[in-house]
Structure 1
Amino acid sequence: MKHVLVFRWLSSPFRYAFAKLKRKLGKLNRLRLEIFLVIGNKTSVFIKGRVVEGYRQSRPSDKKTALQNLLATLRRYAGSSVPDATVCLAYGNHQRELTTDSEGLFETMLRFTDAEKRDIQSVRFSLLPERGLVPETNWVEKRIHWICKVCPRAVISDIDDTVIISKATNIGEKLWLSVSKNAYTRRPFPGVSEFYRLLTANGEYPVFYVSSSDWNLFDLIQDFLSYRDIPVGPILLKDGHINLKNIWKSGGGNHAHKLEKIQFLLEFFPEQQVLLIGDSGQHDPELYAEIIRRFPHRVEAVYIREVRKGDAAREQKLNQLLPPHRVAWVKTTREAMIHAREHLAV
């Protein structure tokens, strides 16, 4: 019964009520506006962001100790999401107001004419003032990441145990890596930068990162990719809010959201062929198989990094969905690069 009560307390309705109570009692006063996605196709711009309690995060460094990184992690997860906050969007001559959901998240789709696309290159965001609530800044401006050209491929990649060493199948090791390291001290798999630059023509083709990590890690992942010289691109993470009470759940649970986000990308860019990269530690092979079934002829190839002993039946289910040599099960990035040079137009 105790565990059931804890689960219920951490569930979304209770967190929502708790955040509302903190606002009413004046215990929630400084707000932070975070913008995750401002991406555009030929006609539309998709926007996603979040409002959380304000916190001051130190910049990562390869000189930081495990204790300093632990304290930074505590700050990162200490804030609560802020429901029912009003966010104002300004673009060109237009304005729009959005209200955050129970997780503090907001999203919208903006439609643009050709003339507006030429003239509007950024979107400005602001939190509308409320009594007792103070935004950290008045306005936040983000450039629109236009992706209008159809490229020979777009890469959609998992992150944990695909790009970054995470030990996702071992909760203890994964948690320790998450709290004791920062963006500069987390390690990528050897050769990932070179492999992704090969697949994207040195960053000319788009790359998207879809992960079961939570939005609290958004800036860490951005900094990690930049620091390790891995092609950067839009990052789509898990919506459920993680805080200090349930930090152990980060990156776990149901991975169906990854299927939804990959489907969104394929529908948002309907003419674009994609290449999928993941690992065998969790459910990537099954998720990617479902994507191929839903979007036949849209997936150029699949790369799966093997992090546990191979399963012939599991591999066969994915292999049979694409032509020969279009699914590669690899142990190292070097194997993946050799395969790509032999079987793909890279």
Structure 2
Amino acid sequence: MKKLLIISCAIIAIVVVYQLVVYLMSSIKQDKIKVEPFLAFGNNTEVFFKGRVIKAYTQQRPSSRKNWLSNIISAIKRYAGSSVPLAKVEIIFQNKSYVVSTDEDGVFELHIVDSKPILNEKEQVLFQVLEPLSKETSIAHMDVTRYSGQTGVISDIDDTIIISHSTDIGKKFWLSISKNAFSRRPLPGVSEFYRKITQDKRLPIFYVSSSDWSLYDLIQDFLRFRLIPEGPILLKDKHINLRNIWKSGGGDHSHKANKIELIMNMFPQMQFYLIGDSGQHDPEIYAQVIKDYPGRVKDVFIRIVGTLDADRESELKKLHGFEHFHFIKTSTEAIEILEKKP
């Protein structure tokens, strides 16, 4: 009864804050249309760029000192932004210009398959919104990272590196709006495990998650603050707004398989460690990857979320390539398994 009362009070508080912020924001114009670059990476011959165009409110930098009310207001601002569909974006790379259009969620991407790196030169890409016209031209830059080598890492995010309570929609929603990049907590030992599996950041790591692009900066700040190896962050394209904010991270997870397919195809010489959790469909997705890309997966680490019931455990044992799976409860277990590998 006490728990129910606390939850009810929390929901009422959120609704009140939401109404207040919406009222205040209704009298404030959104900032200029801006381009947000998310991805700029490739191999020795290809590069892949991704970003979105959005109308958004100015956000202050998060800090560990901000209270839950400030974080809720920031979350509302984050999701109050509106995507700009069918916008024209110019991408300038290696003195060549490419023009792409955003989709219905304001997202754009460009895959160039014949672009070798310029030796001894740092590569950078420029993004510029051409349409719709704005009083101020929106321009953004991003460094381009080329990856090579024989081994890489692909990892989930929610309940794999960051505590998210993905299987409990109430807890997950409260965490997502009341905390920020500096007050969200990582799972114990994650930083050490990820430094170990990337050989102290020498191996490339790619993050694939069902979170939406509105959380890109939060995830990026979280990785840096918690000293977890950074890498390209591939998120769900569907735009989440204030009306469906509770859906963030949920729904169909098939897009994760598509993102992993992009990585596997772009780096055909690499074998990968796959890291995820049992709370969603990571084991099933990774089993399909093992089937589709024989010999390309070194090992799979699945963090157990909660307890596995007998039916779930039985189903997991039937997965293709089950001999590659390691089901762990702690990062210490994962490190011990890793250290025993030849």
TM-score (norm 2): 0.87
Listed as ranges, the matches of 1:78-157 within 5 Å are 78-114=80-116, 116=118, 121-128=123-130, 130-131=132-133, 133-135=134-136, 138-147=138-147, 149-151=148-150, 153-157=151-155
Q: Aligned-pair distance for 1:90?
A: 1.3
Tell me if structure 2 keeps the 8 A contact 1:82–1:104: yes
CA distance in 2, matches of 1:99, 1:327: 41
Tell me if structure 2 keeps the 8 A contact 1:87–1:99: yes
Tell me if structure 2 keeps the 8 A contact 1:165–1:189: yes
Question: Could you say what the CA RMSD is over the residues aligned between the two structures, in angstroms?
Answer: 1.7
Per-residue CA deviations over 1:3-45 (Å, capped at 9, x if unaligned) read xxxxxxxxxxxxxxxxxxxxxxxx8772121000000111011
Per-residue CA deviations over 1:122-156 (Å, capped at 9, x if unaligned) read 1111111545x344x54211111111x213x2110
Distance change >3 Å, CA 218–CA 113, structure 1 → 2: closer
Task: Find the counterpart in structure 2 of residue 9 from structure 1.
Answer: none
Task: Find the counterpart in structure 1 of residue 7 from structure 2.
Answer: none
CA distance in 2, matches of 1:257, 1:92: 30
Per-residue CA deviations over 1:55-93 (Å, capped at 9, x if unaligned) read 211111110000000000001000111011111111232
Listed as ranges, the matches of 1:170-319 within 5 Å are 170-310=168-308, 311-318=312-319
Q: Aligned-pair distance for 1:96?
A: 1.2
Distance change >3 Å, CA 115–CA 279, structure 1 → 2: closer
CA distance in 1, matches of 2:199, 2:301: 17
Tell me if structure 1 keeps the 8 A contact 2:56–2:78: no
SS in structure 2 of the partner of residue 77 of structure 1: helix
Tell me if structure 2 keeps the 8 A contact 1:301–1:322: no
Tell me if structure 1 keeps the 8 A contact 2:37–2:141: no
1:36 equivalent in alignment to 2:38: yes
**Given residue 315 of structure 2, which amino acid in structure 1 is its aligned partner?**
R
Aligned length: 311
SS in structure 2 of the partner of residue 290 of structure 1: helix
Tell me if structure 1 keeps the 8 A contact 2:46–2:116: no
Q: Aligned-pair distance for 1:254?
A: 0.3
SS in structure 1 of the partner of residue 220 of structure 2: helix
Q: Aligned-pair distance for 1:202?
A: 0.6
Please, which runs of 5 or more residues in structure 2 have no aligned partner? 1-28
Tell me if structure 2 keeps the 8 A contact 1:92–1:120: no
CA distance in 1, matches of 2:43, 2:257: 20
Aligned sequence identity (%): 48
Tell me if structure 2 keeps the 8 A contact 1:92–1:119: no
Q: Aligned-pair distance for 1:164?
A: 0.2
Distance change >3 Å, CA 31–CA 288, structure 1 → 2: same
**Given residue 106 of structure 2, which amino acid in structure 1 is its aligned partner?**
G
Per-residue CA deviations over 1:199-251 (Å, capped at 9, x if unaligned) read 00110100011000000000000000000000000000001000001001000
Per-residue CA deviations over 1:81-134 (Å, capped at 9, x if unaligned) read 101111111123211111111110110112345464665711111111545x34
Task: Find the counterpart in structure 1 of residue 321 from structure 2.
Answer: 321
Task: Find the counterpart in structure 2 of residue 12 from structure 1.
Answer: none
Please, which runs of 5 or more residues in structure 1 have no aligned partner? 1-26
Deviates more, 1:114-123 or 1:65-74: 114-123
Distance change >3 Å, CA 101–CA 118, structure 1 → 2: farther
**Given residue 220 of structure 2, which amino acid in structure 1 is its aligned partner?**
Q
SS in structure 2 of the partner of residue 309 of structure 1: coil
Task: Find the counterpart in structure 2 of residue 64 from structure 1.
Answer: 66
SS in structure 1 of the partner of residue 187 of structure 2: coil
Distance change >3 Å, CA 208–CA 81, structure 1 → 2: same
CA distance in 1, matches of 2:112, 2:155: 26
CA distance in 2, matches of 1:232, 1:287: 23
Tell me if structure 2 keeps the 8 A contact 1:32–1:55: no
CA distance in 2, matches of 1:144, 1:48: 12
CA distance in 1, matches of 2:54, 2:145: 24
Q: Aligned-pair distance for 1:309?
A: 2.1
Tell me if structure 1 keeps the 8 A contact 2:44–2:117: no
SS in structure 1 of the partner of residue 298 of structure 2: strand
Tell me if structure 2 keeps the 8 A contact 1:210–1:262: yes
Tell me if structure 1 keeps the 8 A contact 2:128–2:140: yes
Distance change >3 Å, CA 180–CA 28, structure 1 → 2: closer
CA distance in 2, matches of 1:62, 1:307: 27
